[in-house]
Chain A
Amino acid sequence: MAMPLLKVYADRLSQPSRALVIFCRVNRIDCEEVTVDLLKAQHLTSEFKKINPMGQVPAIVDGRFKLFESHAILRYLATVFPGVPDHWYPTDLFTRAKIESILDWHHSNLRRGAATFVLHTVLAPFFGLTPNPESAKEAEKLLVRSLKTIESEWLKGDAKFLHGNPQPSIADLSLVCEITQLELVGDERRDRILGPREKILAWMGNMKKATSPHFENAHEHMFKVKARLSSAAGVKTPSKL
């Protein structure tokens, strides 16, 4: 049988990659997932730069068509595959515009806060970077502000999904996958940040339910990395005693 036309280049350690993989599986989109291992710097190879000159995941190749940036890819797939239910990227102009505004807001707020916080708290050494505690602190503030904004702005009352939508959109998927990355900083830090955010937690539960078992499946790799990070940290502590 012929290989699927659509190739999805992803690393499940990366939040936007997970959102895309979950989207494809939930919607039974015929695609081949090609792993680009960030920890092994596979995103920096010249082969991969031919796929995405930015050297980032996720990226797709659909026949002759190449695309990068996870939100652009999600919009494209939601539109080009006729079987994808409308709620992911509604055709209603007003509902869609509200989703666009969340997708745009995300880059400089939740993503910037969460990704920077995780990088400078645990991930930096794996990418050959020096952790910067000041950056981690600033990022945590931005992250917490962003979570509060999501609650006050888009999860009012007993909204199941962002903006009171009864079913999830690509914005819900993208933002929730960003927040799950907090697992990597360990349970204590994660709970300190997420514990007070009841609406966020309920919403994440709704997202998981709506995309189960693909949601859990896509996060397995990240939980494995979390376990490695925890045991590495555990080995260091005894030496300090």
Chain B
Amino acid sequence: MAAMLKVYADRLPQPSRALIIFCRVNKLDFEEVTVNLGKGQHRTPEFKKINPMGQVPAIVDGRFRLFESHAILRYLATVFPGVPDHWYPADLFTRAKIESILDWHHSNLRRGAATFVLHTALAPSLGMTPNPKAAKEGENLLVRSLKTIESVWLKGDTKFLNGNPQPSIADLSLVCEIMQLELVGDERRDSILRPREKIGAWMENVKKATSPHFEEAHELIFKMKARFTSADHVKTVSKL
């Protein structure tokens, strides 16, 4: 029987992955519809009927349509009664702290990480010219954001953001963003992440809490990473 909830996603971008992982961990009855960004499927008139912004992720739940991953995560956490409270706590104060992380994310971690990855690795695949200056600015913002996460929300030996003992939608959204760094290759990734011990530990906690769905949702990223790496290798060999 067809599921009422349809999730339009491409596992290449981060917000899509956070949503897929959330749905699978919580065993939500849904159908995943792939919208391949590399093939421009997000720009088709059919998809614009689903989401006029032409972006993923987007959902259709019966008659109801929604876009923006954080709005979708809040909606699903609320509308499906089986979703444990820790994902989007009903407690006003805990929730407000999570909202402030979700808001901060757009202009900070997301902007830094996505810009850095775009102009370092992804641009050619999307038919764009890489801009080294933008990549550097993105990297600076990314590093500042990672330090902020550690100093403001991962104090002491906290397992998840803001000292919560279990993950929220904010943990999932932010960690999926950081996973995108795999695409720039191990060396660059390590230069940014190795100094950030708390970030590393926290990412492990989120992965453990959502295994095996976390790993499964990231398979595509690792495939793309392998393709980039072998392409670089081919270039290096040709230069010899």
A contact set with B: CB distance below 8 Å: 53-54, 65, 67-73, 75-76, 79-80, 93-94, 97-98, 100-101, 103-105, 107-108, 111-112, 149, 152-153
Contacts and interface: CB of A to CB of B under 8 A. Distances in A.
A104 B71 contact: yes
Interface of B is mostly: helix
Contacts of B69: 104
Interface of B: 52-53, 64, 66-72, 74-75, 78-79, 92-93, 96-97, 99-100, 102-104, 106-107, 110-111, 148, 151-152
B104 A54 contact: yes
A68 B104 CA distance: 9
Interface of A is mostly: helix
B52 A53 contact: no
A76 B99 CA distance: 9
Contacts of A54: 104, 148, 152
Contact of A65 (B66, B71, B93): B93
A69 B103 contact: yes
B22 to A, nearest CB: 15
A112 B106 CA distance: 10
B103 A93 contact: no
Nearest to A74: B99
Contact of A108 (B66, B67, B104, B111): B111
User: Among the interface residues B74, B78, B79, B99, which one has the most CB atoms of the partner chain A within 10 A?
Assistant: B99
Contact of A104 (B70, B92, B97): B70
Contact of A100 (B68, B79, B93, B111): B68
Contact of B100 (A67, A79, A104): A67
Contact of A72 (B67, B74, B99): B99
Given A68-B104, A104-B68, A104-B106, 12 more contacts: A54-B152, A67-B96, A69-B99, A71-B103, A72-B100, A72-B103, A93-B79, A101-B67, A101-B68, A105-B67, A107-B103, A111-B107
14 contacts: A54-B148, A67-B100, A68-B100, A71-B99, A71-B103, A72-B97, A72-B99, A94-B64, A100-B71, A101-B68, A101-B72, A104-B102, A105-B53, A107-B107
